[in-house]
Amino acid sequence: MIVLNEVTKKYQETLSVDKLSLHIANGEFFGLLGPNGAGKTTTIRMLTALTIPTAGNITINGQLVSRHNPSYKSQIGLVPQHINLEPELTVAENLYLHGILYGMKRSAIADKITELLEFADLTDKRQTLVNTLSGGMKRKVLIIRALMHSPQLLLLDEPTVGLDVFSRRRVWDLIKSLNTRGITILLTTHYLEEAEHLCSRIGLLKKGRLIMTGSIENLRDVVGPVVVERFVQDKTILHFFQEQAQALQFVSGLKEEFTIRQTSLEDVFVKMTEEKVDIN
């Protein structure tokens, strides 16, 4: 279980993460969403001790997260937002290096590399230097690298940026199947349909603060499960309703065009993280 207890990170003036308290149970598929700069990456970096919190503490399965405590780290697989493969090593060498760092046996490393390259459709790139791969291929190598040591907790920071539709779906299928096998997953993404498709619980971050958590149904119910979308004076406006009947009554008085539909995660996101919405 991941427990964040009033975790705060301050960089000079900016408060990147503000008293974040959150529990993620083992086996959960948790989506951490929020606009650019909301603090998602900072949160993931604190979970891996890459960034040290200004205040508060984090435990993972009862172990305090700290750089001086390497023992919990082997349970974690990290896919960082920034591609940090060794550019002048080959794909296989990058994966091999990861295996050594995580104390894997030589034979296990070789088998795992073959298996993961096959999965990622990169078998023919085994001996290719990373700096000659396409952006999407690098991203795939980054993902399979995190899986080398079979982690119990997977932290994915925008893992599918730049992947084509097929690769993205493969990655979705993979992480979904890892999750059904009991692996805990924390995902950040700007693709809300991705979060909708995968996550069992969502946390919405805005300016470093966690403004909502819950299942997608929960979040929908909070803002209203029915939405009316209008386009007035060059702007799209959303109106949320608890009941279909209320929505129908509302639109009966409208002159301009509108759509009436079920609230999507994106609608919730837009409503809750809009600049003018006061989070207090």
Partner 1 sequence: MNGMLAVLWREYLFFKRRIWSITASSLVSPLLYLIAFGWGLGRVVTMDGVQYIDFIVPGILALSTMNASFNSVATPLSIARLYDKTLEEYLVSPITLFSFAAGKILAGALRGMYVGLLLLVVAFLFGAKFKISLAFITLALLNCLVFASLGFLVALKIQSHPDMARFNSFVITPMIFLGGTFFSPEHTSPLLQFFIKLLPLTPASQGLRSLALGQEFAWYAPTLQLIYLCLFIALGLYAYRKVE
Ligand X SMILES: Nc1ncnc2c1ncn2[C@@H]1O[C@H](COP(=O)(O)OP(=O)(O)OP(=O)(O)O)[C@@H](O)[C@H]1O
Distances (CA, A) of 137 to 31, 189, 234: 24, 18, 40
The answer to whether residue 40 forms part of the interface with partner 1 (CB under 8 A) is: no
Q: How far is the CB of 81 from Mg ion (least distance, A)?
A: 5
Question: Binding partner of residue 55 among Mg ion, ligand X, partner 1, none, CB under 5 to 8 Å per kind?
Answer: none
Query: Segment 46-65, which members bind partner 1 (CB under 8 A)?
Result: 48-52
Residues 42-81 that bind ligand X (CB under 6 A): 42, 81
Distance CA 153, CA 207 (A): 26
Size of the site for partner 1 (CB under 8 A): 28
Q: By CB under 8 A, which span of 33-41, 91-99, 112-120, 219-227 interacts with partner 1?
A: 91-99
Could you say whether residue 139 binds partner 1 (CB under 8 A)? no
CA distances from 112 to 73, 104, 123 (A): 19, 10, 12
∠ CA 150-153-156, nearest 5°, is 100
Angle between helix axes 135-147 and 91-101 (nearest 10 degrees) is 30
Return all residues near 112 (Cβ < 8 A) that are at least 6 apart.
Answer: 95, 99, 104, 148
Residue 200 CB neighbours (<10 A): 14
When asked if residue 40 is in the footprint of ligand X (CB under 6 A), the reply is yes
- Shortest distance in whole angstroms from residue 141 CB to ligand X: 20
Which segments within 25-107 are labelled E, that is strand? 29-33, 55-60, 63-64, 76-79
Considering only residues 77-116, where is the footprint of ligand X by CB under 6 A? Answer: 81
Site for partner 1 in 98-137 (CB under 8 A): 98, 100-103
Residue with tokens 């989070």: 279
Q: Residues 1, 15, 89, 161: which binds partner 1 (CB under 8 A)?
A: 89
16 contact choice in partner 1, ligand X, Mg ion, none (CB below 5 to 8 Å, kind-dependent) = ligand X
DSSP structure string for 225-257: SEEEEEEETTEEEEEEESSHHHHHHHHHT--S-
- Binding partner of residue 84 among Mg ion, partner 1, ligand X, none, CB cut-off 5 to 8 Å per kind: partner 1
Closest approach of ligand X to the CB of residue 253, in Å: 39
Spatial distance between the Cα atoms of 160 and 188, rounded to a whole number of angstroms: 10
Considering only 38-46, 206-214, 224-232, 237-245, which stretch makes contact with Mg ion by CB under 5 A?
Answer: 38-46
Are β-strands 76-79 and 153-157 bridged in parallel, bridged antiparallel, or unpaired? parallel
Q: Pick the closer one to ligand X by CB: 176 or 209.
A: 209
- Alpha carbons within 13 angstroms on the beta-carbon side of residue 132 total 9
Nearer to ligand X, 94 or 273 (CB): 273
What are the structure tokens assigned to 49, written together? Answer: 């001790």
CB of 186 to Mg ion, least distance (A): 13
Cα distances (Å, whole numbers) of residue 109 to 22, 103, 136, 148, 204:
35, 10, 23, 8, 37
Closer CB to partner 1, 99 or 203, in the complex: 99
Q: Which residues bind ligand X (CB under 6 A)?
A: 11, 14, 16, 34, 36-42, 81
Q: Which residues bind partner 1 (CB under 8 A)?
A: 48-52, 67-68, 70-71, 73-74, 76, 78, 80, 82, 84-89, 93, 97-98, 100-103
